[in-house]
A = this chain, B = another copy of it.
Amino acid sequence: MPFVHIEMVEGRTVEQKRELAKRVTEAVSEIAGVPAERVHVIFQDMKKEDYASGGTLVLDK
C-alpha cells in the first residue's frame, strides 16, 4: 500500500509507462510518507470502443 490504478486510452508506450511509474511513485512516496518499494502502480489500458464521454465512444469521435 498505496495502490495506484491509472486508466488511459491505449496507445502509450512502455517508455511512457516506465516514466509515469517512476514519477507517480516518487510523488506518492514523498507526500504520503511511504517507502517507494511499497507503492504499487497498475496501468489499465482502455480500447477506443471501451471508453465514452458525453455518451459517445472515443472510437466515434
Q: How large is the interface on A (under 10, 10 to 19, 20 to 34, 35 or more residues)?
A: 35 or more
Residues of B within 8 A of A58 (CB): 1
Taken together as a complex, chains A and B put the C-alpha atoms of A60 and B14 apart, in Å, by: 10
Residues of B within 8 A of A55 (CB): 21-22, 25-26, 29, 36, 39, 41
Interface CB pairs A-B, < 8 A, 20: A1-B8, A1-B40, A2-B6, A2-B8, A3-B6, A4-B24, A14-B57, A14-B59, A16-B31, A20-B28, A20-B31, A20-B32, A21-B52, A24-B28, A25-B55, A37-B53, A38-B54, A39-B55, A40-B51, A40-B53
A residues near B, CB below 8 A?
1-9, 12, 14, 16-29, 31-32, 34, 36-46, 49-60
